[in-house]
Homo-oligomer: A and B are copies of this chain.
Amino acid sequence: MIKSALLTAMLMAGLSATAAGISSPSGDFKLDVSADSDGVPRYSLSYKGSPVVSNCALGLRADEADFSRGFRLTGIDTLTSDTTWQPVWGEYSDIRDHYRELAAHFEADAPARKMTVRFRLFDDGLGFRYELPRQDNANYLTLRDEATEFNFGGDHTVFCIPGDYDTDEYLFSETRISGIPEAMAKYRGRHTESQQTEGNATIQTPTLLKSDDGRYISVHEAALTGYPALLLDVDTVTRAMSAHLTPDRLGVRAYLQLPFNTPWRTMIVSDDARDILASQMILNLNEPCKIEDTSWIKPMKFVGVWWEMFTGNVKTWAYSDDFRAKPGVTDYSALPSNGRHPANTANVKKYIDFAAAHGIEGVLVEGWNEGWEDWASYRKNRQFLFDKPYPDFDVDSLRDYAAAKGVQLIMHHETAANAADYERQLDRAFTFMKDNGYNAVKTGYVGAIIPRSEHHSSQWMVDHVNYVAERAADYKIMIDSHEAPRPTGLCRTWPNWLAQESARGGEFESFGGNPPSHTCILPFTRLKGGPMDYTPGLFETRLSYYGEGKDSQAGSTLARQLALYLTMPSPLQMACDLPENYERFADAFKFIEDVPVDWADSRYLEAEPGRYITVARRDKNSADWYVGAITDENARKATVDLSFLPAGEKYEATIYADGKDADWKDNPQSYSISTRKVDSKTKLSVPLAAGGGMAIRLKKM
């Protein structure tokens, strides 16, 4: 570390000591930091000579001390770091972590305060965080506000969802910054205890902006621990956004004990949309893996007793229709089954058989435990028991059956958002899992949070989900968390945290459907924080198929569902549909059987947010490549330049494409499968239907 080198240089050069700056390794980015005449710390970022954000305030405000004004820039430290690390799983086997760092030290008097803002400037963007060392005066802060600004200047296009303290399961709006209030207004009035849109001019991160001159900016945060999740308040006049931290229900943003470092505030920036997708900056800003032995962490695909409950409101998670049943009180063995409960031993064995026959590693079972009869989330201090199976779910028999077939059962822990009760039971729940052969769990927080002082994204819940992941690591359990605060790259530190939901996922195909554009936006936004358990693989996209009068339909052709395994990469990837639907389209299902979930390399070939994505990835365990391409409501041709293949090697390409007459709405199940030999000189041009997509397996010959 070159102690205060730049500042010294600046002083020697006769420059003001109130400002400092660095450039990114490539020189494309330039960062300036200063304290203004009111002592407000400020930063500006430019890219290729044009401003990204300008003259943005920095700071924190607490009851005990104001860290947002009165500061002098008293010193800086800079360093350059260039390392490469290997994730346990992911899109790349090696990730380069290359940045220049500027730690700007601010001090203020009366009362004395100290704050460092640490900036890391990468070739794909900027991260910065606040570091509050121990103070002479206040070392506990009741945080009321974070002052961080993102002054974009222009009226950029923005892909955003409402700034909700509890849920992120929204469709994205594509609008101008100035149009955000109008776009968000349609969500007003949806105030329930588990869904709270905060005004019209507040949005969530990750959000993606695009300037009129073709610059893409993805705004989010990294390493969210001990702090609430970030929202953004929007000033439609100045085009500025500013931090809006999720409060608890008593109005406090966070309780901090110093020393404390906030999460990183991040902007991934490029004039090529593919760079946004390829960026690993958020992972780079997280701490290295804290799990010593990671050999038990195994990416996998899974099927599950799940979609049955969505197809027509007939099948239920509940064993009985007696809503008076009380977990731990009622004798469930004496309750009559409602006969519509798929999480029963015989049915689960069918899923195990299917998984074993098709090389699918895991089987998720939802609705296996006591508590589903009476969904009174928030109204009850106790809801679910995590060690009490329903009488028709034979834990012992299924453990042995799954083991004999080489299939992993995946546990489900729906908490009804009663995080306090889940923590109460956690050790027993995990012990029960390990005793019965479960190594992975899907957690759920549907409803309004208990403790009732909290929101899904407030500090306490952030601590909770992190605690669950850490505690799971102690038990060698993998986690897939639903309805948890949106991810911020913590899966680097805790790679047993394979995936999260934390966005509007595939389940909504039964609640009105996700338009094709939705999955063309998620990789630019939600996925920057980490993998999503989106649950792709829906072959029967029309709910009317089940004859229940539901008219919901997925915004996707069948071939496009295969492509999602590439465009929505996750080390825990569901094949969400019913086994019988896969048997109807066994040739297409072959792709799902084949496609890996862990990658050695990834190449984003085409990308435009909300429009299309084409990506190629190399299997971590072979020389095979896979390609996926999706489009929005507009048909297009995906161009796949195979120059990434090793020169001189021959590959057999199996192409799963939309049929000529395919259309997401009118003819989603039209597809064609063809094979041809290719090499690095081949350029493929594959037509994608409206709402369509295609997938290619490139098998080395």
Contacts and interface: CB of A to CB of B under 8 A. Distances in A.
B255 A460 contact: no
A406 interface: no
A452 B250 contact: yes
A376 interface: yes
A248 interface: yes
A680 to B, nearest CB: 52
Contacts of A142: 379
A427 interface: yes
Interface string A96-121: 00000000000000000000000000
A378 B423 CA distance: 18
Interface in A258-309: none
A147 B454 CA distance: 30
A426 interface: yes
A508 B250 CA distance: 33
Nearest to A323: B139
Interface string A414-440: 000000100110111000000000000
B381 A420 contact: no
B380 A257 contact: yes
Contacts of A463: 381
A420 B451 contact: yes
In the complex, the count of this chain's copies comes to 2
Interface residues of A, number: 31
Most B-side CB within 10 Å, residue of A380, A381, A428: A381
B257 A140 contact: no
B255 A380 contact: yes
Nearest to A257: B380
A453 interface: yes
A545 B381 CA distance: 50
Contacts of A423: 420, 423-424
A376 B257 contact: yes
Contacts of A424: 423-424, 426, 467
A452 B324 CA distance: 30
A59 B697 CA distance: 70
A460 B381 contact: yes
Contacts of A349: none
Interface in A28-59: none
Interface in A320-369: 324
A324 B380 contact: no
A249 interface: yes
A428 B425 CA distance: 11
Interface in A429-473: 450-454, 459-460, 463, 467
A134 interface: yes
Q: Which of A140, A324, A424, A427 has the most CB of B within 10 A?
A: A424
25 contacts: A134-B324, A142-B379, A248-B452, A249-B453, A250-B453, A252-B452, A255-B378, A255-B379, A255-B380, A255-B381, A257-B376, A257-B380, A381-B459, A420-B420, A420-B423, A420-B451, A424-B424, A424-B426, A424-B467, A450-B451, A451-B451, A451-B453, A452-B460, A453-B453, A453-B454
Given A142-B379, A257-B380, A451-B452, 12 more contacts: A252-B452, A255-B379, A255-B381, A257-B376, A257-B379, A423-B424, A424-B424, A424-B467, A450-B451, A451-B460, A452-B453, A453-B453
In the complex, the 10 A-B pairs of residues with the closest C-beta atoms, listed nearest first: A451-B451, A453-B453, A452-B453, A423-B424, A427-B427, A140-B379, A255-B379, A381-B463, A420-B420, A451-B453
